[in-house]
Amino acid sequence: MRASRPAVHPVEAAPPPPAAAAEGPEAQVEGAAHPRGVRMKDPPGAPGTPAGLGLRLAQAFFAAAALAVMASTNDFPSVSAFSYLVAAAILQCLWSLLLAFVDIYALLVKRSLRNARAVCIFTIGDGITGTITLGAACASAGITVLIGNDLNICAENHCASFETATALAFISWFALAPSCILNFWSMASR
Amino acid sequence: MRASRPAVHPVEAAPPPPAAAAEGPEAQVEGAAHPRGVRMKDPPGAPGTPAGLGLRLAQAFFAAAALAVMASTNDFPSVSAFSYLVAAAILQCLWSLLLAFVDIYALLVKRSLRNARAVCIFTIGDGITGTITLGAACASAGITVLIGNDLNICAENHCASFETATALAFISWFALAPSCILNFWSMASR
């Protein structure tokens, strides 16, 4: 059965075109670091790129900061929404750190993460953690506004800590959104 | 605005190829209903399909129901999150009704809504209204749980109405999510 065609033909190596030589030594060094056919062109922010790793580390950092600020108050377990924020921040932090390690591995071995199944798992996980983080941040924001603006009982509560933790959770969600959109785009456009 | 492409071209009917004739009369009837190259196959739930129209009507109905239930309580303006839910439900209802009318028009004139710019506008609008509706529903849920479970002051408040409105807003968001995902998929996969 001839289901596939040979990908490599034993032909003589052609001399490099003059255009590549005219680009100077920098283009040649880049061509040597990324051999053709091995690493596909990933958009910035996609998994396996330095920007994607930066987004993951930002998500994990802001989720951990939200967790730390919220857990530093002693009365957060009395409000369900704040406990939910702590749980969501832990989940977000673990998920982002896991994907950051995957990104670091892909960068170290110089491999692309454009595997269909991996991108599908990343997209579904990003969607679920993003929805949970956004929900927790919005619930905390609702309580914070109720305490601070509607009831004016900030004197008896740690309003500053609650507001900071909520804002950090929102920032973590804003860092997650590009990852999720890029993963979904890369899954749909193949 | 060219929001749709013509579904019927005044070209001469070409004789069916021999392969189509061999497939039997059923294939010929299907071929006549969907001429090749004129109407692309829309997934169920995409804009311009009956399922897409049903999703839009469901979103608008549940958003309107959430709005009605929340507005029927006389003390919702005292809590910012409930006022935000009312505003989000109004926005969601208007957006879904607008797109439902576009779907009805597309179905009546039998035109496809796979225009690139239209799908991009639908996706961005769905994303924004979906985020706002989810945020409002989560904020209301946080307040509702605080009133009902944490403080146990349901006797002085309309807990049942608040919970019903929050649940209806969540259902409206669940009806919006497939539309948003399908639009984004159709935008990315072209």
Residue ranges making up the domain that contains B139: 46-188
**CA nearest to B83 within chain A:** A142
Are B189 and A184 an interchain contact pair (Cβ–Cβ within 8 Å)? no
Q: What average pLDDT does range A101-111 have in this prediction?
A: 89
What is the arithmetic mean of pLDDT over A120-140?
A: 94
Question: Hey, of A80, A126, A153, which one would you mutate to test binding to chain B, going by the most B CBs within 10 A of its CB?
Answer: A80
The predicted model gives A67-71 an average pLDDT of 93
Least confident of A50-54, A83-87, B43-47, B98-102: B43-47
**Most B-contacting residue of A78, A150, A153 (CB-CB within 10 A), to test interface:** A150
Decide which of A43 and B64 is more confident: B64
Instruction: Say which of B131, B140, B142 has its CB closest to residue A140.
Output: B142
Check residue A40 and give its pLDDT. 52
A13 falls within a domain: no
How far apart are the CA of A14 and the nearest CA of chain B, in angstroms?
35
Residue in chain A lying closest to B124 (CA): A181
Residue where the block lists tokens 């309107």: B64
d(CA A4, CA A46): 30
The lowest-confidence range among A6-20, A50-64, A175-189, B128-142 is A6-20
Read off the pLDDT band of A112 (50, 70, 90): confident
Domain count, chain B: 1
C-alpha dihedral, A105 to A86 to B132 to B143, nearest 10°: 170
If we measure between CA atoms, which residue out of B118, B93, B56 comes closest to residue B169? B93
Q: pTM to 2 decimals?
A: 0.76
B39, part of any domain: no
Q: Is residue A9 part of a domain?
A: no
Instruction: Tell me the residues of chain A between 6 and 45 that have a Cβ less than 8 Å away from chain B.
Output: none
Residue-wise pLDDT tens digits, B29-84: 444 444 444 445 667 777 888 888 999 999 999 999 999 999 998 888 888 999 99
Give residues with Cβ within 8 angstroms of A100, minimum separation 6. A53, A56, A57, A60
- Closest by Cα among A187, A76, A182 to A136: A76
> How close is the nearest chain A Cα to the Cα of B151, in Å?
9
Kindly identify which residue of chain A lies nearest to residue B77, measuring between CA atoms: A150
Other residues' Cβ atoms within 10 Å of the Cβ of residue A77: 12
Question: Is B124 in the A-facing interface, judged by CB distances under 8 Å?
Answer: no
Of B131, B139, B146, the CB nearest to A141: B139
Q: How far is A82 from chain B (nearest CA, A)?
A: 9
Chains A & B: contacts with CB separation below 8 Å: 67
A22 in a domain, yes or no?
A: no
Assess if residue B23 is contained within a domain.
no
ipTM at complex level: 0.74
Q: B88 near A149, Cβ under 8 Å?
A: no
pLDDT surpassing 50 at residue A91 = yes
In a domain, A5, yes or no: no
Residue of B nearest to A183 (CA): B188
- DSSP assignment letter at A17: P
As averages over each run of 10 residues, the pLDDT of chain B (190 residues) reads 49 46 42 46 77 92 94 88 94 94 90 82 93 95 90 84 93 93 85
* Nearest CA distance, B29 vs chain A (angstrom): 32
Rounded to whole angstroms, how far apart are CA atoms B73 and B104? 34
Residue with token string 């399908």: B182
Q: Say yes or no for a CB contact (<8 Å) between B138 and A143.
A: no
Q: Which residues of B128-152 are buried (b: 16+ CB within 10 A; e: fewer)?
A: ebbbbbbbbbbbbbbbbbbbbebee
- Which residues from A are below 8 Å from B78, CB to CB? 150
The verdict on a CB contact (< 8 Å) between A146 and B184 is no
* Residues 50 through 79 of chain B touching chain A, CB cutoff 8 Å: 78-79
- Interface contact A115, partner B, CB < 8 A: no
Whether residue B117 is contained in a domain is answered as yes
Residue A185: its pLDDT value, please? 87
Q: What's the average model confidence in pLDDT over A71-100?
A: 92
Q: Residue B135: inside a domain, yes or no?
A: yes
| More confidently predicted of A153 and A26 | A153
